[in-house]
Structure 1
Amino acid sequence: MSTDYNYDEQARAYCIQGQFFPYFVLTITGLVVVPITYSLLKPSKALENTAPRIQSDFKPEHADLIEGQRRKQKKRERKLKRMIFTLGGWLLMSYMVYLMAVTARTAPKIWNPYEILEISMSAGEKAIKSRYRKLSLTQHPDKVRLDPSKNITEQSVNEHWVEITKAFKALTDEEIRNNYIQYGNPDGKQSMSIGIALPKFLVQAGFGKYVLLVYGSLLGVLLPYIVGKWWYGTQRMTKEKILVSTAGKLFLEYEERMDDGSVISALSCGDEYNEIYKGERIWTGLGKVEGKILADGPSTPFVAGISVKDRDKLKDMDDGVRRKVLGLLWAYLGRVELDDDVLNDEKYEVAPTALALNEAFTSIALAFGNTAPVLSAYHTAQNITQALPPNSSPLLQLPHFTSSVVAAVKGDAKKHFTVQDFMRIPDEQRKKVTTAAGLSADQYDLALAVASQLPHLQVEKAFFKVMGERFIIPNSLVQFVIKARIIPPGATNVPEVKAADLEDVDPDEGDLDALHGRKKQGAADRPVQPPLAHAPYFARDRSPQWHVFLADGKQGKIAVPPFSFATFDKPFFDANGGPSYNVQTLKMQFQAPPQAGRYTFEMHLVCDSYVGFDTHTNVTLVVDEPARAEEIEEEDEISEPDEDTIAGQMNALKTGGLAGAPAPKKTRRKPVEADESEGSDTEGEVGPQSETDTDTDTDEE
């Protein structure tokens, strides 16, 4: 069987001008370009792009290098290559639309007798004849007035009348009309012809095999390669946006009891660093970095805050990339000057990657369920965000505060001062100590201005409850409710908490959104974001989050996994820009234990962006026997007799009421809060005087 290629020059020109090729290209290009365009133009949902900022003009040392890292990251996020590709796609699509428009004007139209006579295809013979007679009265050459200025010449009139006559004869012939209706051609069914819009020489000069080779390469090689590369790219990353190979290495680094320094060492194992450090760059400056971070420190064995144990880990590493990354990370945490712009730039570059790896390590630690590694991972997130080594003073988060200033403020105290402790010191004493240690008046004012804007979440009350019930029974769905307020350090004239704000009233039965915990879509119900973390040394914008979990203190295990909160339901500031002191409600749900009893948990409320803002206290969950709860519920259900009965009349006389008087309205009983003796209890209610365990000198909270 032979195959003949029939080349039609007119058909080729017709196709190239836009009959088939532009539609094909426009469709394929649109399927790719439109989704990419949407991904580029859609508003980002990242909290870092919509949150307010803490007002501060503090510029740390090497602020230009930090800003350069920010610009580099934004450049990567803009995805310049994707933007160029998208622009090229739209230009190609515009050109295809242009070809289609040109084709619509210049392509020959298919002869259609119905269009010529201006009648519908359903018209019968009588209608066709009637239309022909009407046209003969206006379009016959003897009836048309010639007007060369309007291009109405004798030739054009005659040609038009010939077309009308041909159309009339075609439609009045039954066979011709049926052929046209069925096959679209007056001569009946025609042979099918398929053309390819390719240059003539490719078909006639024996290039057919090359054409097939090109098509085979496109569909059999290039397309599978693109799809495979995309699929591999999605599979090589975890949901935390780190490499799967890195997640495996972090898993191997996990230990049951890890302190903050051990977590920092584990974060240096990521394969992401291999893309940064290649060839000679691995060893360049490594000795200098280690010499700087292992120099004697003023209050610690080493200036970077690294312990002897972590120093030994660093020295024992054989992997050049990992060793340099870990040295740079300690230099970043200790704010160590490396006397080299390249090395200083690299230390600010490794911190964001280390924080991303820390989030993945936190997920791994949560899977094991041990409390110590999880807390260490959260503390490491705080340290990386604020560029502080483990167990350092929280006061170093304030602008211009150095180790000497912190030592002057601390004095003879054994524990570190938190920012809250510092702001409680009388202003005269506070200013005298800090200025004597080297702060100028402007630097002191800036430190206080930043401290007074930090979002310290102070817990006012914490309790357990079951929605719609007075008691908690085994295996019921329990809510752990935290009532807290954002009280910035140093705030004065803080109003007392209203008792009504500390209650948690169940929603109405018909309010499905509230019952299922869904947020309403109204403008007044939009979640409120806290300000971005004040982290001048961290080369990224970071929105703080608070993590709440319950732990078994005796076994060192997590009893209820963390619930994370990045937004709140009430504004932080009032109309004048001052603190609103609104009571925020945080809730987490879990299943009650299967047996009745009293269960004491350690509650940890951890902020992942600030040091010294955590809350640690004990809470007790009381689970009652189902029989006791049912007995009390039955007693509550005993109601007064109906008024239309004898007993009701007697009861009305006893109480001084009148028969037939309106019955008192039934009020909905609010659920019993945790401070009632027969309900679920929270021992040691958290108040303003019980803030947070801020002993950062030890590993225990």
Structure 2
Amino acid sequence: MSSEYNYDEGGQFFPFFMLTMAGLVTVPLTYNVLKASTDLEQTASRVKSDFKPHNVDLIEAQRRRRKRQNRKTKRIMAVIVGYTFMAYMIYLIIVTQRTVPKMWDPYDILGVSRSASEREIDKFYKRLSLKFHPDKAKPDSSKNETMDDVNNRWVEMTKAYKALTDEEIRNNYLQYGNPDGKQSTSIGIALPKWMVEEGNRWFVVAFYGILLGIILPYTLGKWWYGTQALTKDKVLHASAGNLFREWKEDISEGDVVAATSVGEEFTETLKGSRSDAGAAKVESKVLNSSALTEADKARLKSIDDPVRRKTLALLWAYLARIDLEDQELEKEKFGVAPTALLLNNSFASITLPFGMVKPLLSAYHTSQNIIQAVPPSASAILQLPNFTPAMAEKISKSSKSPMTFQKFMSLPPTARRQLCSDLSDQQYSQAMSVAAQIPHLVIAKAFFKVVGERVVTPGSLVQLVIKARVIPPGTPEKDIPPVNPLDLEDIDPDEGDLDALHGRKPAKSRRKKLPDGSYVEDDAKEGSVQPPLAHAPYFAADHAPRWHVFLAEARTGRISVPPFTFTSFDRPIFHPDTGKPTFNVVTLKCSFQAPPQVHAFPFIMHLVCDSYIGLDEKVEVVLDVRDPKEAEVVESDDDISEPEEDSLAGQLQAMKSGGMTGSPVTSKKKKKKTLPANADSKAVPVAQTQGNAVEEASDDDDDESDTEGEDDSDTSDTDTETEDEDS
């Protein structure tokens, strides 16, 4: 085999080949390792708090373990090995002696100058023949020369002489670089010769067989079946099937907690002897707790599977913050919560095709409970540091009406402090410090619009535009600045910005029109500001808060527009230095297709945060879908301008209105267009949420719309907005 091919006997080219192959793998892997993480949990800041819960060391250990699982340890090791191998190949390239092929040069062989004439070459050749001709020259024994060496040297001299004097041979030399004409081309294989020698070839075959027949199929199969085994929510398909069977129309938060215990992932966490170790102790403590309802206790007792029964008991122990008085059980208690959250997110996805509001809200509220370690039926005040169930019950009994979290935080500071008399000043300060950093999103305005249009037509692409501010619970009213009416407007992109018009990219130019007619540049940047990580001291994983927005039918309670999830805002919500709220108006947009019928559709808009309890927002909105002919009438009317007074058209108009030719024509202010009789006149009012009302702009300000219209219909906002809850 080696006689048929040319191999790299000196090892000159083999290091180049191996360096290239290693670089093709190592360089892309390096980019993957060094690339900045896009995970929300890796890029967000944290809520500033020095609160340390009980067993904080176990919780932190669980967090570190999960972070290690997310690290690219194997890839980092592969990169280190790759660069080590590449460095060794570079070393071999440097120290290996290079074999430089010598070019055939007739001038060098004869030892004549390149500027020598043919006559001088003839003369010099004759002198060389007297010295080097085989009949004259003798082999030099000191150089181990033989007669063959003498003959070969003379043949080369003769070729060189003819290449410089004979026209045909000279042409061969000039064209092919050799007086004998075109030479055969030899392409070698950049493998060392020892690899293909008789005794080693089977080792090479075995190496390629293991690499291509075992390692490569195993790696690809493991990757493929690993991705196929998980859903898009990163739970096992078997777990998703179990969750589907747990779904029911009137499911409660407690039922959702029980449903998350069916995940197959828990069999890996509680495997072997841990599947039922300490289960009786956990179950006894949970059943004696007042955090569970009788229905929850009955459901726990009815489970036969030991793994699921222990899992559900651990989940309730986590939610009720029960001390299990056992190190291993405490580890398992904090370990099941992050897995339960993944399963709950999968359950929320399963509920969407059914279109029912109650199961979806139950899933979202269960997410809040798991992250904050608060039972479904408990007070939302427990999500603040240092508060206990006994204190929360005492605060709830102090009011005749239900003491919600927002109601408690809206109390005067002195009254609130009096209710928290069981807390020391330091503990109370810790709790209020965390409350002041909770990103409570308060809706200031919500309306529907179609980009570039003034009315919503059937089948058009509608945007639900939400203008909101982050106002932490307990913020004094005097510290909340009024909303700038200009911030409540939504600006259409330029007509030439097609990507922005179709929603693929943010607008290139974002200008706002001031009341004086001038423009200012909008500083909003879509999706550029991420809120802090959720303050969840008992949750053994970092979690970035998410806000879900969806529309439900006001009459039937079914989901009309599925949820849109937001994880970042277009403006800063907290000052980076002080940590205080900026009260900037942020914009959230949800795009969907309008109904095909002409009608005013009332909806209930839900805004739910998955990380904090008791901060949900609910607003009534009306989508007024109008006849396309109305839009055509509005556009055609806008194209007709008032004629000049001293023009022929102006004089004719004056005559039609009763004026005389040549008489002064009184300029009339353009009348505001009225809607047809069948149009819904209630589509214009602007709604604000209770406690955060925003005054409507004056009529003059309304005329100054984003699209420079002169009438009420000329506004960048489609005339379909939220109805006032107070009315």
Alignment counterpart, residue 430 of structure 1, candidates 395, 413, 416: 416
Distance 1:534 1:163 in 2: 91
Structure 1: distance between partners of 2:47 and 2:537: 11
Name the CA shift for 1:185/1:239 in 2 (closer, same or farther; >3 Å).
farther
CA distance in 1, matches of 2:650, 2:415: 73
What TM-score does the superposition give when structure 1 sets the normalisation length? 0.80
Matched AA of 1:111: K
Residue 403 (structure 1) aligned with residue 405 (structure 2): no
Residue aligned with 1:218, SS:
helix
Task: Please state how far the C-alpha of 1:611 moved relative to its aligned partner.
Answer: 0.3
1:323 corresponds to 2:309: yes
Deviations 1:451-504 (A, max 9, x none): 112111111122222233332232222221211111111212112223232232
Letter in 2 for 1:221: I
Question: What's the CA shift string for 1:615-640, capped at 9, x where partnerless?
Answer: 12322222223344544554454421
Give the conservation status (yes or no) of the 8 Å contact 2:347–2:363.
yes
Q: Would the aligned equivalents of 1:552 and 1:601 in 2 still touch at CA under 8 Å?
A: yes
Deviation (angstroms), 1:75: 1.6
- Equivalent in the alignment of 1:535: 536
**What corresponds to 2:101 in structure 1?**
110
How many Å separate the matches in 1 of 2:249 and 2:433? 41
- How many angstroms apart in 2 are the aligned matches of 1:399 and 1:637? 62
For residues 178 and 372 of structure 1, do their structure 2 counterparts lie closer, same or farther at Cα, with a shift above 3 Å needed? farther
Where structure 1 has 5 or more consecutive residues not aligned to the other structure, the ranges are: 119-124, 142-153, 156-160, 298-304, 692-701
Q: Is the 8 A contact 1:462 1:480 kept in 2?
A: yes
Q: 2:406 aligns with which of 404, 420, 430?
A: 420
Could you tell me how far apart the structure 2 residues matched to 1:170 and 1:70 are? Answer: 84
Q: In the superposition, relative to structure 1, how do residues 115 and 421 fare at CA in structure 2: closer, same or farther (>3 Å)?
A: farther
Partner of residue 680, structure 1: 683
For 2:358, the equivalent position in structure 1 comes to 372
Q: Distance in 1 between matches of 2:620 and 2:501?
A: 28
Counterpart-to-counterpart distance in 1, 2:544 and 2:493: 30
CA distance in 1, matches of 2:428, 2:202: 80
Letter in 2 for 1:585: T
Is 1:584 matched with 2:586?
A: yes
The answer for the alignment partner of 1:440 in structure 2 is 424
Match runs of 1:103-182 below 5 Å = 103=96, 106-113=97-104, 168-169=160-161, 172=164, 175=169, 178=172, 182=176
Do residues 203 (structure 1) and 185 (structure 2) align?
Answer: no
Distance 1:210 1:459 in 2: 71
Tell me the amino acid that sits aligned with residue 197 of structure 2. V
Alpha-carbon distance between aligned partners in 2 of 1:274 and 1:128, rounded to the nearest angstrom: 89
Superposed displacement of residue 607, structure 1? 0.6
* 1:647 counterpart residue number: 649
Q: Is this contact kept in 1: 2:448–2:464, CA < 8 A? A: yes
Q: 2:280 aligns with which of 278, 281, 287?
A: 287
Q: Please name the residue that 1:350 is paired with.
A: 336
Checking the alignment, whether the CA contact within 8 Å between 1:472 and 1:679 is kept in structure 2 is no
| Cα 1:463–1:200 shift into 2, 3 Å | closer
> What is the distance in 2 between the residues matched to 1:420 and 1:568?
23
User: 1:568 & 1:193 partners in 2: Cα distance?
Assistant: 61
| 3-state SS, counterpart of residue 430 of structure 1 | helix
| Pair 1:51 & 2:44 matched | yes
Q: Normalization by structure 2: what TM-score? A: 0.77
CA contact (8 A) 2:497 2:507 kept: no
Aligned to 1:450: 434
**1:481 aligns to 2:465 (yes or no):** yes
Distance change >3 Å, CA 7–CA 621, structure 1 → 2: closer
Q: Is the 8 A contact 2:574 2:581 kept in 1?
A: yes
Distance 1:99 1:631, change over 3 A: same
Contact persistence 2:246–2:259 (CA under 8 A)? yes
Q: Compared with structure 1, are the counterparts of its residues 513 and 162 closer, same or farther at alpha carbon in structure 2 (3 Å cutoff)? A: farther
CA distance in 2, matches of 1:277, 1:362: 25
Percent identical among aligned pairs is 45
Amino acid at match of 1:19: F
CA shift in 2, pair 1:95/1:636, >3 Å:
same
Q: How many Å separate the matches in 2 of 1:115 and 1:581? A: 87
Cα 1:226–1:182 shift into 2, 3 Å: farther
Return the offset for 1:202.
7.1
| Match in the other structure for 2:553 | 552
| Pairwise CA distance, 1:126 | 11
Alpha carbons 2:449, 2:456 under 8 Å: kept: yes
Q: Which residue of 2 aligns with 1:278?
A: 271
* Structure 2 letter corresponding to 1:236: A
Over 3 Å counting, the alpha-carbon distance change for 1:643 and 1:289 in structure 2 is: same
Q: Is the CA contact (8 Å cut-off) linking 1:113 and 1:170 kept in structure 2?
A: no
What corresponds to 2:516 in structure 1?
Answer: none
* Secondary structure class of the residue paired with 2:197: helix
- Aligned-partner SS, 1:525: coil
Contact 2:524 2:571 survives alignment (8 Å): no
Q: Separation in 2 of the partners of 1:371 and 1:184?
A: 88
Change beyond 3 A, Cα 1:168–1:248: farther
Instruction: Give 3-state SS (helix, strand or coil) of 2:245's partner.
Output: helix
Aligned partners of 1:180 and 1:186 also within 8 Å: no
Instruction: Tell me: CA distance 1:329–1:181, structure 2 relative to 1, closer, same or farther (3 Å).
Output: farther
Give the CA deviation at 1:309. Answer: 2.5
Task: Quickly say closer, same or farther: Cα 1:488–1:115, change in 2 above 3 A.
Answer: farther
Deviates more, 1:590-599 or 1:570-579: 570-579
**In 2, Cα distance between equivalents of 1:263 and 1:341:** 27
Task: State the AA in 2 paired with 1:624.
Answer: R
**Cα distance in 1, alignment partners of residues 401 and 256 from structure 2:** 23
- Indicate the larger mover: 545-554 or 161-170: 161-170
- How has the CA–CA distance of structure 1 residues 81 and 625 changed in structure 2, closer, same or farther, with 3 Å as cutoff? closer
Assess if the C-alpha contact under 8 Å between 1:465 and 1:680 holds in 2: no
Distance 1:681 1:193, change over 3 A: closer
* Distance apart, 1:57 and its partner CA: 0.5
SS in 2 for 1:603: strand
Assess, with a 3 A threshold, how the Cα gap between structure 1 residues 533 and 644 changes in structure 2: closer, same or farther. Answer: same
RMSD over aligned CA atoms reads 4.1
Q: How does 1:35-46 map to 2 (within 5 A)?
A: 35-46=28-39
Q: Judge which range, 495-504 or 281-290, deviates more.
A: 495-504
Describe the superposition over 1:60-106 as per-residue Cα deviations: whole angstroms up to 9, x where unpaired: 11111111111112222223233222211110111112222333xx1
How far 1:217 sits from its partner (Å)?
3.5
Q: 1:176 to 1:633 in 2, by over 3 A?
A: closer
Matched, 1:84 2:77: yes
SS at match of 2:430: helix
C-alpha spacing 1:168/1:645, structure 2 compared with 1 (3 Å): farther
Q: Which runs of 5+ in 2 are unaligned?
A: 129-141, 144-152, 510-522, 695-727
SS in 1 for 2:683: coil
Is the contact made by 1:480 and 1:587 (CA closer than 8 Å) also made in structure 2?
Answer: yes
Give the deviation of 1:684 after TM superposition. 5.6
Q: 1:456 to 1:209 in 2, by over 3 A?
A: closer
1:73 aligns with 66
Give me the whole-angstrom Cα distance separating, in 2, the residues matched to 1:115 and 1:573: 82
Between the aligned partners of 2:354 and 2:179, the Cα distance in structure 1 is 77
State the one-letter code of the partner of 2:245: L
Q: Which residue, out of 19, 37, 44, partners 2:13?
A: 19
Change (3 A) 1:68 1:633: same
Question: 3-state SS of the aligned residue for 2:95?
Answer: helix
Aligned to 1:519: 506
Which residue identity is paired with 2:27? Answer: V
Summarize the alignment of residues 570-581 of structure 1 with structure 2, pairs less than 5 Å apart. 570-574=571-575, 577-581=579-583
1:96 to 89, 96, 101: 89
Give the counterpart of 1:254 among 247, 264, 267. Answer: 247
Work out whether residues 2 and 193 of structure 2, in 8 Å CA contact, stay in contact via their aligned partners in 1: no
Amino acid at match of 1:432: Q
Letter in 2 for 1:90: Y
**Structure 1 residue 312 displacement after superposition:** 2.8
User: How far off its partner does 1:239 sit?
Assistant: 2.4
